[in-house]
Amino acid sequence: MFNVVLFGPPGSGKGTQSEKLIEEYGFKHLSTGDLLRKEMKEGTPLGLEAKSLIEAGKLVPDSVVIGMIDAALEANPDVPGFLFDGFPRTVGQAEALDKLLQGRQWHIGIVLFMQVNEEELIKRLVGRAKTSGRLDDADPEIQKKRQDVYKQETLPVAEYYAQKGMVQKIDGEAAIEVVYGRITAVIEAAKA
Rounded to 5°, the CA angle 174-179-184 comes to: 165
Q: pTM of the prediction?
A: 0.84
Q: What is the mean pLDDT of residues 93-113?
A: 95
pLDDT greater at residue 145 or residue 105: 105
- How far is residue 35's CA from residue 165's CA, in Å, rounded to a whole number? 28
Check whether 79 has a pLDDT greater than 90: yes
What is the enclosing helix (H) or strand (E) of 180?
helix 176-191
Domain boundaries along the sequence of the chain: 3-191
- How far is residue 174's CA from residue 190's CA, in Å, rounded to a whole number? 22
Q: What is the mean pLDDT of residues 109-118?
A: 93
Q: What is the DSSP string of 92-161?
A: HHHHHHHHHHHHTT--EEEEEEEE--HHHHHHHHHHHHHHH--GGGG-HHHHHHHHHHIIIIIHHHHHHH
What is residue 188's predicted lDDT score, i.e. its pLDDT? 96
CA distances to 32, 39, 47 from 120, in Å: 25, 34, 35
Q: Where are the alpha helices (DSSP H) in 11-117?
A: 14-25, 32-42, 45-55, 62-75, 91-103
Q: What is the CATH number of domain 3-191?
A: 3.40.50.300
Encode pLDDT of 58-71 as tens digits. Answer: 767 888 889 889 98
Encode pLDDT of 17-70 as tens digits. Answer: 999 999 999 999 998 878 888 888 899 888 888 888 777 767 678 888 898 899
Encode pLDDT of 117-171 as tens digits. Answer: 888 888 888 777 777 666 666 677 777 777 787 888 888 999 999 999 999 999 9
